Amino acid sequence: MEKDSGYIFGPVPSRRLGLSLGVDLIPRKTCSFDCIYCQVGKTTDKRTENKDFYEPLEILSQLRKRLGERHPDTITLAGSGEPTLHKGLKEIINGIKKITDIPLALLTNGSLFWRQEVIDAALGADIILPTLSAGTEGTFRRIHRPHPEITLAKVLEGLGRLRNSFSGKILLEVMLVKGVNDQDHEIEALRDAITQVAPDRIQLNTVVRPPSESYATGLDSERLEQIRRFFGDNAEIIASPAPKDSLKKSWVLERDLVEMMRRRPVTAQDISSVTGESLEKINQLVEELLSRRVIEERVHEGRLYYTVK
Ligand code: SF4
């Protein structure tokens, strides 16, 4: 089976990794979690069992070709599902390291490191970006709606083992959802849990783009800053990056825009920032894609987003 949209997307500006070329290894919404804040939509294949979803050699071939056209800051295993569910993860990571010395990042929900083969595969990456958003089992289940086989205790055990084996950087994302995991007692429990993982950085995030569940809303900047202070100097709020000069060229290709929207909803301003093209030009292109029903509009907290239908 092949992915219709191809395996490589971007480069896109990442809040955490600069200009990031994405490698999408997993079918859309195949994940061990079904997070209430997920911007890709509801999980349709919730699993912990790994599988050879796509052919590693084909993924590597597409990446090699794209690297001939673009030079990103980072290559990121990410996309529309959980990458550690690919049985060939180790082969793919080792293959990428043979093609290029651009730093390789693994963006993961962090739920499967209790499996030794997942740790073994991930050790080939330069940066690992797991998520940990709850310090109590009930909140963990409420926010991530995990596969029944996954518990917070297992996740913490796995992340602790990862920390002991991995010498690269671990940047831990904490996704904060208003009224779900932002209360003082939740934040205290989370801090205790994070201590077991000992990440290099704690990166605080909140719901900005249209979520899977409309009740999942973001924190305001004042509360985010209070929580950042509570976590200490090792914590930061991850904010939208400035546009990169290297992308400020005529990059507005329909294929690239559609690829971007397939992975996450974007605003016209997002597209304009990435591409350096005027809002007027972006709006024209978006109108055309809307009229052809290639994309659709979604409104979230008063902002207009575009996503692939
Ligand atoms: S946010 Fe990530 S981990 Fe959560 S359901 Fe979506 S793809 Fe899976």
Could you tell me the pLDDT band of residue 243, with boundaries at 50, 70 and 90?
A: very low
pLDDT over 70 at 161, yes or no: yes
**Selection from 77, 60, 85 nearest residue 14 by Cα:** 77
Q: Which two tokens stand for residue 196?
A: 């077991």
Is residue 3 in some structural domain?
no
Compute the mean pLDDT over every residue in the chain, rounded to the nearest whole number: 89
Is residue 137 in some structural domain?
yes
Report residue 307: phi and psi, to 5°.
-145, 160
Do residues 187 and 270 share a domain?
Answer: no
Pocket of ligand 1 contains residue 155 by CB under 6 Å: no
Is residue 86 within 8 Å of residue 24, measured between CB atoms? no
Pocket of ligand 1 contains residue 177 by CB under 6 Å: no
If one counts every other C-beta atom within 10 angstroms of the C-beta of residue 237, the result is 16
Q: For residue 35, report the distance from its CA to the centre of ligand 1, in Å.
A: 5
Residues of the domain holding 300: 246-309
Do residues 73 and 177 share a domain?
Answer: yes
Region 236-255: mean pLDDT is 55
Region 101-118: mean pLDDT is 97
In this prediction the pTM is: 0.82
Query: End of a domain among 189, 222, 241?
Result: 241
CATH number of the domain within which 52 lies = 3.20.20.70
pLDDT score, position 242 = 38
Pocket of ligand 1 contains residue 35 by CB under 6 Å: yes
Q: For residue 264, report the distance from its CA to the centre of ligand 1, in Å.
A: 12
Percent of the chain clearing pLDDT 90 (strictly above): 68
Ligand 1 atom nearest to CA at 40: 6
pLDDT score, position 249 = 43
Cα–Cα–Cα angle for 82, 187, 114, nearest 5°?
Answer: 35
- Residue minimizing CA distance to atom 4 of ligand 1: 35
Q: For residue 176, report the distance from its CA to the centre of ligand 1, in Å.
A: 14
pLDDT score, position 2 = 62
pLDDT score, position 278 = 74
Q: Which two tokens stand for residue 113?
A: 């490191």
Do residues 60 and 205 share a domain?
Answer: yes
Amino acid at 66: R
Number of domains present in the structure of the chain: 2
Which residues pair with residue 308 across a beta bridge?
A: 295
The number of residues making up the chain comes to: 309
Is residue 224 within 8 Å of residue 176, measured between CB atoms? yes
How far is Cα 106 from Cα 35, in angstroms, rounded to an integer?
Answer: 19
- Alpha-carbon distance values, 40 to 22, 28, 214 (Å): 15, 8, 13
Pocket of ligand 1 contains residue 31 by CB under 6 Å: yes
pLDDT over 90 at 303, yes or no: no
pLDDT over 90 at 71, yes or no: no
Pocket of ligand 1 contains residue 186 by CB under 6 Å: no
Q: What is the pLDDT of residues 9-57, one digit of tens each?
A: 888 877 788 889 999 999 999 999 999 999 999 999 999 999 999 999 9
How far is Cα 10 from Cα 102, in angstroms, rounded to an integer?
Answer: 15
How far is Cα 50 from Cα 122, in angstroms, rounded to an integer?
Answer: 14
pLDDT score, position 240 = 46
Pocket of ligand 1 contains residue 111 by CB under 6 Å: no
Is residue 11 within 8 Å of residue 20, measured between CB atoms? yes
Instruction: Give burial (CB, 10 Å; 0-12/13-18/19+) of 138.
Output: exposed
Could you tell me the pLDDT band of residue 282, with boundaries at 50, 70 and 90?
A: confident
Type and span of the H or E element at 127: strand 127-129
pLDDT over 80 at 210, yes or no: yes
CATH number of the domain within which 260 lies = 1.10.10.10
Query: Any idea what DSSP says for residue 218?
Result: P
pLDDT score, position 107 = 96
How far is Cα 40 from Cα 261, in angstroms, rounded to an integer?
Answer: 10
pLDDT score, position 225 = 95
Is residue 1 in some structural domain?
no
